[in-house]
């Protein structure tokens, strides 16, 4: 039995490691794209100069900025409503389909694609935003910053190679060092330095927390759950068997925190929601568990504590009774409150 359990645990650990590595490789590919764009910056300037300037001269537009004596080693400034290619410290905002700027910029970028070779002190807003250095604000489908993001990245995919000191908000967030906040469906960071990743799944390398828990409670006689994030704040997903004469598979999601009192003893408050959907029937319960945990070596922890559960269903009907309870109060035909107990064992992953 022990050998079978160990094999199962190692399988889950390898699966979690593989998933984390996939997100890491995806972030590396995004960073390679940033490096390639910035390496080919001068080539892009030359090509755009050959193609855009002849067209721009035929446009019946007042391109007053073309007469601005702003120059650099790359030659003439291109400043149109279609494509903008400018040198370092260009004094005007860039508004166009494609905006490419060299060196450091203090003005705003608004376009479908915005690329700044160095640091940008103004906002970048577009479908794809790339900054070789730091970025103040990036809002778009894909946002990439090379050195750091000191303020906010908002988009579907947000990636910062080195440090995130502000906030990343998107479906997928990736950072080298997280000292700010990540808010998304999937968060990934190489390390955490005072930061907080908050999402459905958060994968953190150095300083991260990943564990697999097997537990027993009055509401779910057996459940298994996977936790990921950091000790201060993590999320978890789980599967379990509902109580009652006819057990059904339950799904759950929750958040929790580990507050250490000493090297081994910790307080472990968690709040979660669990639901069952079967043949058109549906019920759920919200549960608060202020547990106490103990871990002697750090890899295996024992968890125990009271459970406070509120069960409900959208329509009138019988709610399944808990397997056992210390206190039981049926509020009405759709709501019930229970106090019970939970015990569990938790295995922590390392080297993911």
147 pLDDT more than 80: no
Same domain, 219 and 202: no
* Cα distance from N-terminal residue to C-terminal residue, the chain: 26
Q: 163, 189, 206: which is the final residue of a domain?
A: 206
The answer to whether residues 22 and 149 belong to one domain is yes
pTM score, whole prediction: 0.73
Same domain, 246 and 339: yes
Domain boundary among 206, 239, 254: 206
318 & 333 share domain = yes
The residue out of 206, 232, 247 marking a domain boundary is 206
State yes or no: pLDDT of 165 exceeds 70.
yes
| DSSP secondary structure letters along 192-245 | ESS-EEEEEEEEEEET-EEEEEEEEESS-SEEEEEEEEETTEEEEEEEEEPPSS
**Together in a domain, 21 and 164:** yes
Phi, psi (deg, nearest 5) at residue 314: -70, -30
Looking at the structure, tell me whether residues 153 and 245 fall in a common domain: no
Q: Is residue 52 pLDDT above 80, yes or no?
A: no
Angstrom CA distances, 136 to 85, 147, 193, stand at 20, 12, 20
Residues 283-298 pLDDT 10s:
888 999 999 999 877 7
Which whole-number Å values give the CA distances from 179 to 66, 162, 315, in the listed order?
Answer: 42, 11, 46
Work out how many domains the chain is built from and give that number: 2
DSSP symbol at 75:
B
pLDDT in tens, 250-278: 889 999 999 999 888 999 999 999 888 66
CATH code where residue 249 lies: 2.40.160.20
pLDDT > 70? residue 317? no
Model pLDDT for residues 59-87, shown as the tens digit of each residue: 433 344 434 434 444 456 888 878 889 88
Same structural domain, 99 and 198: yes
User: What is the domain range of residue 92?
Assistant: 2-206
Please write the tens of the pLDDT for every residue from 331-344: 887 888 999 999 99
Asked if residue 273 and residue 178 are part of one domain, the reply reads: no
Per-residue pLDDT at 13 exceeds 80:
no
The answer to whether 218 and 325 are in contact (CB under 8 A) is yes
């Amino acid at each position: 039995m022990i050998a079978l359990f160990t094999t199962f645990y190692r399988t889950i650990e390898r699966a979690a490691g593989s998933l984390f590595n996939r997100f890491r490789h995806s972030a590396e590919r995004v960073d390679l794209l940033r490096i390639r764009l910035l390496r080919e910056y001068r080539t892009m300037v030359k090509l755009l100069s050959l193609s855009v300037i002849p067209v721009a001269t035929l446009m019946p537009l007042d391109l007053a900025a073309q007469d601005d004596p702003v120059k650099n080693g790359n030659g003439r400034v291109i400043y149109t409503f279609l494509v903008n290619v400018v040198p370092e410290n260009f004094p005007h905002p860039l508004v166009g389909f494609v905006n490419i700027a060299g060196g450091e910029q203090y003005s705003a970028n608004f376009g479908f694609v915005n690329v700044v070779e160095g640091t940008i002190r103004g906002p970048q807003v577009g479908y794809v935003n790339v900054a070789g250095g730091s970025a103040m604000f990036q809002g778009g489908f894909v946002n990439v910053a090379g050195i750091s993001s000191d303020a906010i990245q908002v988009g579907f995919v947000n990636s910062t190679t080195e440090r995130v000191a502000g906030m990343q908000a998107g479906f997928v967030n990736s950072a080298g060092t997280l000292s700010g906040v990540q808010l998304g469906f999937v968060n990934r960071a190489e390390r955490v330095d005072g930061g907080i990743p908050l999402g459905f799944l958060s994968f953190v390398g150095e300083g991260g927390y990943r564990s697999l828990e097997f537990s027993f409670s009055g509401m779910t006689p057996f459940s298994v759950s996977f936790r990921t994030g950091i000790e201060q704040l993590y999320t978890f997903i789980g599967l379990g068997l509902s109580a009652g004469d006819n057990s059904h598979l339950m799904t759950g999601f929750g958040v929790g925190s580990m507050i250490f009192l000493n090297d081994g003893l910790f307080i472990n408050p968690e709040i979660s929601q669990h639901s069952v959907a079967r043949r058109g029937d549906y019920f759920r319960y919200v549960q608060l568990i202020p547990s106490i945990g103990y871990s002697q070596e750090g890899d295996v922890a024992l968890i125990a504590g009271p459970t406070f559960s509120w069960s409900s269903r959208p329509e009138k009907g019988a709610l399944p009774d808990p397997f056992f309870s210390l206190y039981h109060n049926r509020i009405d035909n759709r709501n019930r409150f229970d106090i019970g107990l939970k015990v569990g064992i938790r295995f922590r992953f390392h080297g993911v």
